[in-house]
Structure 1
């Protein structure tokens, strides 16, 4: 059995302590030298974007918050400070309260339906092929991927006008097809002129235009999942639905959360679609949303201070929506191994 002298042990311990102190002092006291390359890099890639963000994003928000407490008409240099009166008016404005309800309805329906359809298509195109052999998507998946993306590259206003013509009560394609199938009650049916169908049609158009993009987003996420996981699940006898729910969705949870937030923000601000489909806000204001009412109040009625208050409310509603999505994702298991969201 080998033995060590006490003196040698003490010397080794002292050397280890000195070495540890040198490493600690070196790690904690070392500072990056302010070289020209470092300073220029920070200025270009951090300082410049930060300045642009403050000037074109933060400062307009600050201005909107200020003007929301004035009676500014938008066309003169004079205005009076009214405090929170504009926000009190909003609570008593039936048009804006109705617009908030319509916007919330769109934000609840459009993101959910769009993500479900996009996930189904993405799963079919990536791992929905034959159950035997290599994990792959359905045949001609590349063709479906390209075709599904077409609606997204068309400008939103063009999509809205196109579908308004398709749903036209007199010569629209939808009524023509339904009438040809023997449904005479749809011969001149006003899809965008009826309270019960106007908002569903608007939601359908928005979903149709967005599914392709988010399908590609989910395809890219699913491609990052190792194929061995799907092969193991198939060997264990898991059905396609079980694989999609128990494997695909949990593994691309972050992508789904991001998509949900982006879609929710877009759904709360679908001015282009609503204005193109129903410029007057639909029958009995059934499709009137916050952005459309804000536009009317500012540019048609000349109340920029009051419309700025609407914009502040829109921003608050959007932040609340994003916070709810993060909270739901956290409570349903969206956290890493350390318990962080």
Structure 2
């Protein structure tokens, strides 16, 4: 056995377990989702009726699905923009300035990311409590001392913003740390040269920092948008279960209800296929829109 063959066998042995696990737990289940979406099936019986694309025809006439689609798009926009913007802002401040307690702030910002989504839901459920929540109590301080009675999770007009705030709070620290790691690789000499030319900190941030870490921003932006689809479902499921009156229903919560509550498993899988295709299409669009020539230094 020659050296080249041994090398190929070694590489195969190292990669094979990962490929097998990925195939068993990702590829095959994904194919099954596509397959089951072509059937009318309750999910718990042995009786499956092949209906072709009937589930998809029903889906594209489903007003409730379109409502969950709109809520999902709104959440993606409302969560992504402030999260990325604030993460960049805090990363820029903590990277460029040296002050007492700097490491403390890094830890504080990152703590929400290591908390379980269930714990985060419990925290904000207590904050938003209409009678004993700290948020209504603070508002009451500015209204003569009487606690406000705002239904943060029960008012259709504001409930989605309550979910958005919780998800933004949870995600900022993680992306801040990632951007700080990228900013650490920007040579200090570039900032010194720009300072000698009269550039202020804001100009240096937009003309030096952002262009040089743009590749990292593109990657995290795509990752964050896709992860928001998953995290929004988890938080919605715990805090509001899609209510009130569908105001916070999102892709995956609606799919869950159809598949496991209404015993329409095939229909739920059809929703899952649409979400799957939408996620990839959205990722492709984001990559296309944010594409630019990499800068070197």
TM-score by length of 1: 0.82
SS of 1:88's partner is: helix
Residue of structure 2 in register with 1:276 after alignment: 238
SS of 1:189's partner is: coil
> Contact 2:68/2:250 (CA < 8 Å) preserved in 1?
yes
- Structure 2 Cα separation of the partners of residues 96 and 184 of structure 1: 43
| Structure 1 residue 76 corresponds to structure 2 residue 45 | yes
Deviation at 1:92, TM superposition (A): 1.2
Q: 1:110 aligns with which of 79, 92, 97?
A: 79
Residue of structure 1 in register with 2:56 after alignment: 87
| Structure 1 residue 34 corresponds to structure 2 residue 40 | no
Residue of structure 2 in register with 1:255 after alignment: 216
TM alignment of 1:216-255, pairs within 5 A: 216-255=177-216
Larger radius of gyration: 1
- Structure 2 Cα separation of the partners of residues 42 and 319 of structure 1: 30
Change beyond 3 A, Cα 1:308–1:334 = farther
- Structure 2 Cα separation of the partners of residues 183 and 307 of structure 1: 50
Change beyond 3 A, Cα 1:104–1:183 = farther
| Structure 1 residue 329 corresponds to structure 2 residue 295 | no
Residue of structure 2 in register with 1:189 after alignment: 150
TM-score by length of 2: 0.94
- Structure 1 Cα separation of the partners of residues 165 and 207 of structure 2: 28
> Contact 2:71/2:250 (CA < 8 Å) preserved in 1?
yes
Deviation at 1:268, TM superposition (A): 1.8
SS of 1:312's partner is: helix
- Larger relative contact order, structure 1 or 2 (CA cutoff 8 Å, min sep 6): 2
Deviation at 1:102, TM superposition (A): 0.5
- Structure 2 Cα separation of the partners of residues 297 and 311 of structure 1: 11
| Structure 1 residue 286 corresponds to structure 2 residue 240 | no
Residue of structure 2 in register with 1:151 after alignment: 112
Residue of structure 1 in register with 2:278 after alignment: 317
Deviations 1:269-288 (A, max 9, x none): 22111112212x12231111
| Structure 1 residue 306 corresponds to structure 2 residue 251 | no
RMSD: 1.8
- Consecutive unaligned residues of structure 1, counting only runs of 5 or more, are 1-30, 130-136
Deviation at 1:326, TM superposition (A): 0.7
- Structure 2 Cα separation of the partners of residues 211 and 52 of structure 1: 32
TM alignment of 1:121-160, pairs within 5 A: 121-127=90-96, 129=97, 137-160=98-121
